[in-house]
Amino acid sequence: MWKQFLGKISRKAPKSGGDSPKAKSLPSRGAGNGRETELSASPPPPAGAVAGAEGETREGVFLRKLNVCCVVFDFSAERGRDSPERERKRQVLMSLVDCVGAAEEPLTEAMISACVRMFSINLFRVFPPKVRSGTSGAAEADEDEPFFDPSWYHLQVVYELLLRFVMSPVVDVKVARKYVDNSFVSRLLDLFDSDDPRERDCLKTILHRMYGKFMGNRPFIRKAVSNIFYRFVFETDRHNGMAELLEVFGSVISGFAKPLKEEHKLFLWKALVPLHKPKTVALYLPQLTYCITQFIEKEPKLSGTVIRGLLKYWPVTNSQKEMMFLGELEEVLELTEMPEFQKCMVPLFRRIAHCLNSSHFQVAERALFLWNNEHLFSLISQNRQIIMPIIYPALERNARWHWNQSVLNSLDVWTPVRESMDGWIALGHN
């Protein structure tokens, strides 16, 4: 196999004595001043040197190829768009992907170190300033056209190589952890703010695999992601990768052992529940709801904590967001047991009564549909003496004065409710 590996690039070598053009370094992506920053430790060797001299060791050839890939190209510039050096780098990257995937002998520490160095040079970069506002609401955020990084031609293969590296059984975790350290993980997490959805999707897969394999990094990953959530909610109000990070953590939470550790409960209360606050919650609410319901399934007593959190961040003026909260509330109540329900039912149904009275017909209609849920109906029936006086006035106002016919039609659901609940007449509202 290694003879084929040595010869993959040598066929593209120029004739003896020919000059091989050198690739130019990528301008600093965050600087914006037009000056070029040298990102590789050394200039690329001539193409003929990539394959290595006859008799060169496996490690030597591997390191030479990685060195070629440490040259970063500026894809935003017109000049050199069709440079053969760009294509050569991509071919070398693909050969490395094949070799790591098919390798049977463990990678040496020098090879692991060089891989991590190459990943850092190619992937870690400063994103350009944000030109789109993340505070304009979910409706406008949905209209933003996705950005596709022109350097994806190389980045895609680098990410594929990183995934193979993380998954490969020939990479010794104990050795790799010297280089895949907290600093590397932190900078990798920063890339989740990329505007390119393809990059975020790759990062999602890599982080999931990394969390599974590098167990020593797990506490740091949880803490670092918590910090990303804190900054998003309380400082920046904008981040591109919330959905992807939450999707990864949905799998992480499902793997938590029971009983849950105090650290994990704090993650729910301090990191996940506040994510309901931003206006752009619609962009990641399905993933957030999944994470929260995973916690409740593991420890049903947490449902009360979640309901109180929803009430704390309940939208007052955003009707679309209010409808989404009602949908999530139904999923949470589906998992709520009687003791926790009774602890929060009074403030909960005061909020639901407010929704029933909403002039926005979709909010009122969505609140009425909660009674179609059999589990919730059972909880209400067993606590009707407390709940019905709270919500019945709102129902009466709707029946008499609501302007929307759909809401009036939805009130038909209350006919069996009125007939089935004992003590209804005693409430004095009939």
At residue 45, the pLDDT reads 44
Domain membership flag for residue 216: no
Domain membership flag for residue 231: no
Question: Which has the higher per-residue pLDDT, 205 or 368?
Answer: 205
Domain membership flag for residue 48: yes
At residue 420, the pLDDT reads 52
Domain membership flag for residue 324: no
Q: How many domains does the structure of the chain reveal? A: 1
Residues 6+ apart with CB under 8 A from 136: 279
At residue 5, the pLDDT reads 45
At residue 81, the pLDDT reads 60
Question: Which has the higher per-residue pLDDT, 417 or 218?
Answer: 218
Q: How far lies 403's CA from each of 334, 359, 366, 419, in Å?
A: 31, 8, 16, 26
Domain membership flag for residue 76: yes
Using one digit for the tens of pLDDT, what is the confidence trace for 408-420? 566 666 655 555 5
What CATH number is associated with residue 33? 1.25.10.10
Side-chain half-sphere CA neighbours of 56 within 13 A: 17
Using one digit for the tens of pLDDT, what is the confidence trace for 377-404? 999 999 989 998 898 887 777 766 665 5
Domain membership flag for residue 381: no
275, pLDDT greater than 90 = yes
Domain membership flag for residue 92: yes
369, pLDDT greater than 70 = yes
Domain that holds residue 37: 1-127+144-180
Spatial distance between the Cα atoms of 382 and 109, rounded to a whole number of angstroms: 65
- Closest Cα to residue 118, out of 42, 53, 170, 192? 42
Helices (H) and strands (E) in the chain, counts: 21, 0
Q: Are 95 and 45 in contact (CB under 8 A)?
A: no
Which token pair is 428?
């004095």
Domain membership flag for residue 123: yes
Using one digit for the tens of pLDDT, what is the confidence trace for 149-174? 889 999 999 999 999 999 999 999 99
Using one digit for the tens of pLDDT, what is the confidence trace for 3-61? 444 444 444 434 333 333 333 333 333 333 333 333 333 444 444 444 455 557 889 99
